[in-house]
Each structure stands twice: as C-alpha cells, then as structure tokens.
C-alpha cells in the first residue's frame, strides 16, 4: 500500500526549525516535499547549526529534513522565478516559514499564484502572522514563550521565569502548519479552489495556554507557579524526590489517589476530610504535599515504581534523554528513525508520532543542498539536459560560475 500522503507535492521555502519540523512529518507520511534553497545564501541555515555539523550538513538539519528533496533556485532571477512558477503548476502547495510580510514580497501568496494553478494552497508559518501590528517582526520560540505567558508559568515559585527545555512553540507551530496545509489541500481537491493558510507561532503559543487561558479570561484566574512542577489544580500531580532521584506521580482520578494511599501505607490520608476529594486536596495542597515529600524520600525511584505500577497508580521516572530512548516502549513503538549518512554514519533521529496507514519502513537522509535540482526538473517539468543547462547558464540556480 502507498503511504497516506503519496501523490501530494509540496514546494517548501523553509529553514531552521519550525517550518521543516512541520513538513518532516508530511514527508514521513509520503508527501513529496521539495525544499527550494536559495543558492546565494547557502541554503537552509539549519545546515550549519553546531555542535554536530560538517560542511553543509548537521545533525540538527538531519532531524528536520529526512525524506525530502532539495533544489537550488534563485527566485530573484527571471529564469529562476519562471522555473518556480512552472513547478507551482505541477504542485499541490507552496509552504514557507518566513517573516509574516515576506510571502507577499516574494509573491508566493495565493493571490500571486492562483493564475498559474487555481488549486494551489499557499501556507505561511511565521512568527506573528501575515496581519497585525507585529507581522513584519521576526518571531522566535524563546521570545514567544515569554510573550505568550508560558515562562511566567514555568519554574520554581522563587526562581526566575523559565522556558521549556525544548522549542515547544516552534514544534507546535510546525504541527499546526502541517494540519492547516493538509486541510487546505483537502478543501482544494474537493472544491478546485486553493487558498492562503496564515499560521503564526504567536497564535499557536496563545492557543496552547488552553484551560489556563480560559480560567483567566472567563474566571479572572491569576496563575501562579507551584513547586516541583506541580499541576495547577490536581493534587498530588508533580515530581517527588526519592532517595536517589525523582519520580512523577499523577493522581488525575480519585481512584488513583486512593491507590496511592494504599501503596505508601497511609490509608488515613484517603479518609482525612482535608484530603477526601479533589477540591479539598486543592485547598490543603501544601500540608498534603509536605507529608508525601517525606514519605517518598524513604525509598529509591525504582522501588517506588515497582509498587506504584503494580497498584495502577500513574507514575514515571524522570528520565534523562539517554534513558528515554532506551525505554522498552520507545523501541516497541518504533520511535527511532534509522538512515545512513556518508559522514555521520548510522543516523538515528526521533521518528514521527503521526501513525496512520502503513508504517514507513525506510528513511532517507536529509538532502544535500541542490541535490535533486536536475531530477525534479526532469520529473515534474519534463526538461531535457539541454534545457536545464540553459537555465543554469542564465542564473536560475545561482551564479553560473558556482
């Protein structure tokens, strides 16, 4: 069986993290993602991200660009632009992650391209979107975690505002852009008319405040930080220190709290009126957590996990990254993508979590810059070697002397 997105062709003016993160999942699902890289700038800046980099490649770049193709194309040259427009006629979507005002400047919006392909879907992922007072500003994950309030919610109460250890705004924005793009392609194939998709990291970050945002907007809630990464309303739901490390306990249902009290040999904590239900435990959080902290410090993480898991209490160790990828469940779920690379050797990168249709069994390394220029032009545009040579001499692929 073909992969779910086989038959979809996406021209992508993408770079660095957020944009390529969105399309790598589409490529894993079988979409043909053709990276258009500017020959005048060295292509995708992600190629050069340290510490694991070599010439025009890096493990950072490999993570976001497996199963894709790359062509060098200078859209500022007449022949490069003409070639791009010919490719638009044969494609389903044009995807970019550029500053919000740039798609219009590059003339890659639906209004600019619909005369070439009325069904084309033009998806822009930017920091602040294509409209609004900040649309011309660059937007990066770190600053957006601050701007959208995330950092005010993260960290210890007496510590500084803290960002996530991962670029979660970038990654979430990539997923949102991929969802928008596929939705647009579905509507385009149904109706024969394409559209613009205007996705921003700012909107994504605000949306992901979720119920905390709703509590504030509708209930005048003022969020505060709780010690040890505690849940804002469910108690106990946080990390606890053991004799050797940390453990996560998550009592999201009353039955889990009752089971926890049995495991720690404190049935009185389940019947105590101060802790009898969610609301009471919320009101008396500090006293209960203090008792539990003393209890969990009496045994190792492994010892607690054995008994808690046997009793059906949601729990987990606080793994290192190394431990996370060694987990039995990680292997069983095939969450490591394997490919070969001439410099890095056996590549292992986190696989896509999007499981639909047949599972991809083989992964290809990320493309070298411009590696597929000739093959793409022959395949999609039926160009001959002579025609490609003319384009090259005219500067379509950058300076003819390069």
Active-site residue list? 231
Length of the chain as a residue count: 402
CB 311 within 8 A of CB 254: no
User: How many Cα atoms sit within 13 Å of 177 on the Cβ side?
Assistant: 38
Q: What does the alpha-carbon distance between residue 155 and residue 160 come to, in Å, rounded to a whole number?
A: 7
CB 247 within 8 A of CB 239: yes
H or E stretch including 241?
Answer: strand 237-241
Q: What does the alpha-carbon distance between residue 331 and residue 338 come to, in Å, rounded to a whole number?
A: 12
| Token pair in block for residue 89 | 């006629």
CB 115 within 8 A of CB 193: no
73-106: burial string, b at 16+ Cβ within 10 Å, e else = bbbebebbbebbbebbeebbbbbbbbbbbbbeeb
Sheet holding 315-317, edge to edge: 237-241, 246-250, 315-317
CA distances from 195 to 177, 186, 362 (A): 14, 11, 33
CA distances from 250 to 147, 217, 237, 314 (A): 29, 27, 4, 5
Beta bridge partners of 199: 125
CB 314 within 8 A of CB 256: yes
CB 201 within 8 A of CB 126: yes
373-381 vs 385-393: helix crossing angle, rounded to 10:
120
Alpha-helical segments (H) within 297-344:
301-311, 321-326, 328-332
Q: Long-range contacts made by residues 264-268, C-beta under 8 angstroms, separation at least 24?
A: 264/292, 264/295, 264/296, 266/291, 266/295
Sign of the alpha-carbon torsion through 198, 199, 201, 206: positive
Nearest to 109 by CA among 205, 7, 9, 13: 13
| Token pair in block for residue 361 | 């069994």
């Amino acid at each position: 069986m073909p992969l779910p997105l086989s038959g979809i062709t996406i021209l992508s003016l993408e770079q660095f993290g957020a944009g390529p993160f969105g399309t790598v999942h589409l490529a894993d699902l079988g979409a043909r993602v053709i990276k258009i890289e500017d020959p005048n700038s060295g292509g995708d800046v992600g190629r050069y991200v340290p510490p694991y980099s070599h010439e025009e490649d890096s493990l950072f770049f490999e993570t976001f660009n497996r199963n894709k193709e790359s062509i060098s194309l200078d859209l500022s040259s007449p022949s490069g632009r003409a070639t791009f427009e010919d490719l638009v006629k044969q494609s389903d979507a044009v995807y970019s992650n550029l500053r919000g005002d740039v798609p219009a400047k590059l003339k890659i919006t639906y209004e600019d391209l619909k005369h070439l392909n009325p069904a084309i879907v033009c998806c822009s992922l930017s920091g602040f979107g294509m409209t609004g007072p900040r649309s011309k500003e660059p937007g990066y994950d770190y600053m957006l975690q601050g701007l959208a309030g995330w950092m005010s919610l993260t960290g210890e109460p007496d510590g500084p505002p803290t960002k996530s250890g991962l670029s979660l705004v970038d990654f979430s924005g990539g997923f949102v852009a991929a969802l928008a793009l596929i939705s647009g392609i579905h509507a385009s194939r149904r109706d024969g008319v394409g559209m613009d998709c205007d996705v921003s990291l700012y909107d994504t970050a605000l949306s992901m405040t979720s119920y905390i945002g709703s509590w504030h907007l509708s209930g005048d809630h003022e969020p505060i930080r709780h010690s040890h990464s505690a849940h804002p309303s469910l108690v106990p739901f946080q990390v606890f220190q053991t004799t050797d490390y940390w453990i996560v306990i998550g009592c999201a249902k009353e039955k889990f709290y009752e089971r926890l009290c049995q495991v720690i040999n404190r049935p009185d904590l389940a019947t105590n009126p101060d802790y009898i239900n969610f609301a009471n435990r919320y009101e008396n959080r500090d006293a209960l957590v203090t008792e539990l902290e003393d209890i969990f410090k009496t045994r190792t993480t492994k010892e607690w996990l054995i008994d808690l898991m046997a009793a059906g209490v949601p729990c987990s160790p606080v793994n290192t990254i190394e431990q996370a990828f060694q987990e039995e469940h990680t292997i069983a779920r095939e969450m490591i993508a394997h490919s070969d690379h001439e410099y890095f050797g056996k590549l292992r990168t986190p696989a896509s979590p999007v499981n639909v249709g047949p599972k991809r069994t083989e992964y290809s390394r990320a493309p070298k810059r411009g590696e597929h220029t000739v093959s793409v032009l022959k395949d999609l545009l039926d160009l001959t070697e002579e025609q490609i040579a003319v384009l090259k001499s005219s500067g379509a692929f950058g300076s003819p002397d390069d």
